[in-house]
Amino acid sequence: MAPMFPLFAETFHLSEEEVPLITGVTVVVLGFSNFIAIPCSRIFGRRAVALSFGILFLVTSIWQAVAQNYASFMASRAVIGIAAAPSETLMVQVIADLWFIHERGFWMGVYFTSMSFGACIGPVISGNIAERHGWRSFFWLSAGLIAFNLILILFLFPETKYNRETLLNSSESPATPASTTHTDDFKVEAESQCVQQHVETIGHAVLVGKGRPSRGQFWLFQKPHRHYKQFIIRDFVGPIRAAALPIVLFASLNLMGTANLALYWNITESPILESPRYGFTPARVGLSNFGFAGGAFVGMLTAGPLSDWMVQRATVRNNGVREAEMRLPALIPFAITTVVGTVIGGIAVREGWDWPLIVVMGFGSSGLAVCSIAVIAIAYALDVYKPLSGEIMVVGTVFKNVTGFAMTYWVPPMVVNRGYILPLMIWFVFTAGPFLLAIPLYIWGKKLRAIPAFRGRSMHWE
């Protein structure tokens, strides 16, 4: 959206403080909409939620393209926040459904990078299209891509949530690993994991036969769980209770800090690069987002595989016993690059250095941070509380999006009055502080998980 901000301001006669709200309203609605998406994914399945919210996404994208006034456009921006909610939570549930602990780091990295690429490449496309064909053309293109994605989901995305009551009540053996092997733990199994403090032994995963997704997994929605009414209440209060767990809080704060560090650059990139010092057009501002994309791509290639490798290596050294905290040392190189990149990027803006330093060090390091620090922190929380995958992401997205919405209010006026470096350093504190919490968690995390109040046993209901 950032490269199109000047065009929005011209069309709807907006002030400099009003323009960032175009992003802010979507961000805050998106955060709280997961209180709807997560219960629905548990009741009707992941596939049904992806399809239904995707249809709403398509309709709302068309609404944005045809909006004739500011009120209608902002209403469409709010509704699209509801439609986009599953994009920030659903795939983490799918990863927990399908992959084991030593595989999740890589796939979390793939997911976060894919999600970040949309935010990174989108401005590249929007800036060029808006400059040549107007900003409405970008939303028509988005509608076409969303429709294409819906077709892919319809034919290529089977249901990954499995109701284990069917297995427990049946005398037949499970038919396919897609339905039985990498799926949610039922309550007894989940509680036993907590009592054992999530200690795992290294070895090859035991698979039950071979197969492919069944025809039933491609139904539009799954038969609701017989206790689905309890899910509605529990899933609403579940994220609130999960936020009190220190490890979930640690993961959420790291997602909040790194994602909104990138948001700072997204809010300020147009005024920085379109200033007389650099003289960028909207199209060139869009192209600068390749810096975010490059950092995100490096994060995908390194963070997940590095953390998985470190877990495996530490497990061997620990006589085959795996602990969740073995993933945390992988944060070290990415914490260093985040600190160095943010400081150099901020100084480059203040001193008017050449734009490649801003794009590479500022934009690139923030893209790397999102797809490395956040990935490792959330994978760690998922290792500890696997049945709470939905709650972990709800807490994280609420923290991230509420603070992101607040940034659209306080960053622009502070930039006008105090310059770019002060708001950047203020948010840098909220970025660096959370990943430093990995130090006490690495030392005392196992003992912390042994405390009954922090085991999360009463919240494992899926």
Q: How far apart are CA 387 and CA 450, in angstroms?
A: 17
The answer to whether residue 458 is domain-embedded is: no
Output the pLDDT for position 286: 78
pLDDT tens per residue across span 430-457: 999 998 999 999 999 888 888 877 765 5
pLDDT at 184 over 70: no
Output the pLDDT for position 200: 42
- Token duo for residue 393: 């992401």
pLDDT tens per residue across span 188-205: 333 334 434 444 444 444
127, 3 contact by CB (below 8 A): yes
Q: Provide, rounded to the nearest whole percent, the portion of the chain with pLDDT above 70.
A: 87
Output the pLDDT for position 179: 37
Residue 272's nearest CA partner among 345, 342, 340, 339 is: 345
DSSP 172: S
pLDDT tens per residue across span 393-414: 889 888 998 898 888 888 888 9
Output the pLDDT for position 215: 83
Strands (DSSP E) contained in 104-246 are 200-201
Q: Provide, rounded to the nearest whole percent, the portion of the chain with pLDDT above 90.
A: 32
Structural element, H or E, at residue 322: strand 321-322
Non-local (6+) Cβ contacts of 252 within 8 A are 243, 392, 395, 396, 398, 399, 400
> Between residues 327 and 229, which one has the greater pLDDT?
327
Q: How far apart are CA 125 and CA 130, in angstroms?
A: 8
The answer to whether residue 207 is domain-embedded is: no
Q: Comparing 130-139, 202-211, 372-381, which segment has the lowest mean pLDDT?
A: 202-211
Output the pLDDT for position 208: 52
Q: What is the mean pLDDT of the chain?
A: 82
Residue whose structure tokens are 């309709």: 59
> Between residues 357 and 200, which one has the greater pLDDT?
357
Q: How far apart are CA 127 and CA 323, in angstroms?
A: 46
Q: What are the distances in angstroms from CA 400 to CA 30, 74, 138, 257, 374?
A: 10, 21, 26, 7, 11
Name the band, by pLDDT with cuts 50, 70 and 90, for residue 172.
very low
pLDDT at 315 over 80: yes
Output the pLDDT for position 456: 59
> Between residues 340 and 13, which one has the greater pLDDT?
340
Q: How far apart are CA 276 and CA 370, in angstroms?
A: 30
**Strand pairing category for 321-322 and 200-201:** antiparallel
> Between residues 74 and 164, which one has the greater pLDDT?
74
Output the pLDDT for position 191: 39
Structural element, H or E, at residue 420: none
CATH number at residue 279: 1.20.1250.20
101, 52 contact by CB (below 8 A): no
Output the pLDDT for position 210: 66
Phi, psi of 155 (to 5 degrees): -105, -20
Non-local (6+) Cβ contacts of 49 within 8 A are 37, 40, 41, 86, 90
Output the pLDDT for position 393: 85
Q: How far apart are CA 279 and CA 273, in angstroms?
A: 6
Amino acid residing at 69: N
Question: What 3-state class would DSSP assign to 302?
Answer: helix
Output the pLDDT for position 170: 44
The answer to whether residue 215 is domain-embedded is: no
Residue 290's nearest CA partner among 384, 359, 209 is: 359
> Between residues 348 and 304, which one has the greater pLDDT?
348
Residue 322's nearest CA partner among 335, 303, 333, 308 is: 308
Q: Comparing 97-111, 220-234, 311-325, 424-438, which segment has the lowest mean pLDDT?
A: 220-234
Q: How far apart are CA 182 and CA 185, in angstroms?
A: 9
Name the band, by pLDDT with cuts 50, 70 and 90, for residue 164.
low
Residue 398's nearest CA partner among 245, 240, 175, 261 is: 240
- The domain total for the chain is 1
Domain that residue 45 falls in: 2-160+235-450
pLDDT at 264 over 60: yes
pLDDT at 175 over 70: no
Question: What 3-state class would DSSP assign to 321?
Answer: strand
Chain centroid, CA 433 distance in Å:
19
> Between residues 59 and 105, which one has the greater pLDDT?
59
Output the pLDDT for position 209: 54
Average pLDDT over residues 352-369: 91
Name the band, by pLDDT with cuts 50, 70 and 90, for residue 36.
confident
Output the pLDDT for position 186: 34
Structural element, H or E, at residue 205: none
- Token duo for residue 127: 């800036």
pLDDT at 177 over 70: no
- Token duo for residue 87: 């994009």
Output the pLDDT for position 92: 83
Q: How many CB atoms lie within 10 A of CB 132?
A: 10
Q: Write a three-state SS string for 214-246.
A: CHHHHCCCCCCCCCHHHHHHHHHHHHHHHCCCH
DSSP 69: S
Average pLDDT over residues 130-135: 85
27, 266 contact by CB (below 8 A): no
Name the band, by pLDDT with cuts 50, 70 and 90, for residue 20.
confident
Instruction: Please state the pTM of the whole predicted model.
Output: 0.76
Most confident of the ranges 156-170, 271-285, 361-375: 361-375
The answer to whether residue 113 is domain-embedded is: yes
C-alpha triplet 129, 133, 138: angle, nearest 5°: 45
Q: How far apart are CA 212 and CA 16, in angstroms?
A: 54
